Structure 1
Amino acid sequence: MAEYKLTYFNLKGRGEICRLMFVLADKKYEDHRFEREEWKDLKPSMPLGQVPVMTVGKTQIPQTGAIIRYLAREFGLYGKSNMENTMVDVIIETIDEMRSEFVKWVKEEDETKKAEISKKLKEDVFPKFVTFVEKMLSDNGGQFLVGSEVTLADVAVFDVISRISDMWSQELMNMSTVLKAHCEKIATIPNIKAWLEKRPKTAR
């Protein structure tokens, strides 16, 4: 039996970054996926009534941020010093801020308002994010976002840019040749490359 169990919808969503951490570290886990119609029955057993949830032994861990930080510490993907840990956190928090703006576009049903949100994403939110991450990459020597090895920060940026590009527009990926190249580098890491080729095909 796998030591870890990840429970999430049969989607990429907020569960995919967790899966990528297992994949990168080459650690076995139970990828417990369920369909939306099953959620009503499953929800009462989840802490906070939400997913993803990772189970380690008898302990359930909710909240994506808590899960990925736990895995990063466990698998040596969180940097090698307190400062590197903190800079990984800076990237994660910045991604969360950007994603919260994108989710508004995903959920908006009024086409006029959706167009307004799209304009803000294109002209303000995404350029601000790209500029910040580009600078972090440059300041760190251009190979990785934090430290001298791949960390949670690199995987998280790859995950969010590639998924938003697929859902919204390739404009995000194409806003920066530097970040596009960085994402392509992460995508060619053998374990991640193999996962991207075989993972279940889902809408998002």
Structure 2
Amino acid sequence: MPSYKLTYFPVQALGEPIRFLLSYGNVEFVDERFNEEDWPKIKPTTPYGQVPVLEVDGKKIAQSTAISRYLAKQYGLAGKNDWESLEIDATVDTIHDVRAKIAAYSYEKNETAKQEKLKIAKEVVPDYLKRLDDQVQKNGGYFVGGALTWADLTFVAILDYLNYMMKENIIEKYENLKQLKQKVEEVPAIKSWIEKRPSTDH
């Protein structure tokens, strides 16, 4: 059994999809969370100067989506065939497009630019969410293939982060996405992870 260590900031954000997947796979993993002030020391030790970083038997790898896809393949969450894998990838990329639009607003320091980016987020994000909601409805309550995949885990895992940045519950009006969230959070391995993880707001 490989040994896993995840290194990330002390928040959910981009680390959480990986933590969901490792929990789903029922593997022990070291959940290393460092403080902001230690980042300059840690940064040079990472492959691309960014986190999350997953160590698998001491080998370091970065890029949260690539790590998630790798783990999903190990745990049977990457689709039943190449086409489903492609649909999952497209869905995950779309979820990260939503994140990018919200983050552009959230991290903007200039007040004028911030308002402009908020306006864009408020126009674009509901359109994405409506399409994702329809997708879940068409696919038997999941994003792809009528079954749980890493697209579902990714969405639910970063939802707190999206809500935190947007300062609202972004799925409030989307019944299918709300049901999906509930379903993912009720998967026993995910449920027990949520119960024991450190408490953070995003």
| TM-score, scaled to structure 2 | 0.91
Instruction: Give distance in 1, aligned partners of 2:169 and 2:30.
Output: 35
Instruction: Give distance in 2, aligned partners of 1:9 and 1:160.
Output: 14
Contact between 1:127 and 1:175, CA under 8 Å: does it hold in 2?
no
**Cα–Cα, structure 1 residues 88 and 29, in superposed 2: closer, same or farther, change >3 Å?**
same
SS at match of 2:147: coil
Instruction: Give distance in 1, aligned partners of 2:144 and 2:60.
Output: 29
SS at match of 2:162: helix
Partner of 2:131: 132
One-letter amino acid of the structure 2 residue matched with residue 38 of structure 1:
D
SS at match of 2:171: helix
Structure with greater proportional helix content: 1
Partner of 1:160: 158
Offset of 1:171 from its aligned partner? 4.2
Instruction: Give distance in 1, aligned partners of 2:39 and 2:72.
Output: 28
Which stretches of structure 1, 4 residues or longer, exceed 6 Å deviation after superposition? none
Offset of 1:149 from its aligned partner? 2.4
Structure 2: give runs of 5+ residues left out of the alignment: none
Offset of 1:69 from its aligned partner? 0.5
Pick 1 or 2: higher relative contact order, CA cutoff 8 A, min separation 6: 2
One-letter amino acid of the structure 2 residue matched with residue 138 of structure 1:
Q
Instruction: Give distance in 2, aligned partners of 1:88 and 1:48.
Output: 25
Instruction: Give distance in 1, aligned partners of 2:149 and 2:167.
Output: 26
**Is it true that 1:63 corresponds to 2:63 in the alignment?**
yes
Partner of 2:195: 197
Contact between 1:108 and 1:114, CA under 8 Å: does it hold in 2?
yes
Partner of 1:95: 95
Instruction: Give distance in 2, aligned partners of 1:132 and 1:25.
Output: 29
Offset of 1:76 from its aligned partner? 0.9
Offset of 1:34 from its aligned partner? 0.8
SS at match of 2:109: coil
Q: Quote the sequence identity (%).
A: 35
Partner of 1:184: 182
User: Which stretch of the first structure deviates more once superposed, 50-59 or 83-92?
Assistant: 50-59
SS at match of 1:48: coil
| TM-score, scaled to structure 1 | 0.91
Partner of 2:7: 7
Offset of 1:45 from its aligned partner? 1.1
SS at match of 1:173: coil
Offset of 1:174 from its aligned partner? 0.8
One-letter amino acid of the structure 2 residue matched with residue 162 of structure 1:
D
Contact between 1:4 and 1:29, CA under 8 Å: does it hold in 2?
yes
Contact between 2:133 and 2:175, CA under 8 Å: does it hold in 1?
no
Q: After superposition, give the CA deviation of every residue in 1:85-138 in whole Å (9 maximum; x if it has no partner).
A: 11110111111211111111121123333233222222x221121122122212
Instruction: Give distance in 1, aligned partners of 2:57 and 2:194.
Output: 28
Partner of 2:110: 110
Structure 1: give runs of 5+ residues left out of the alignment: none
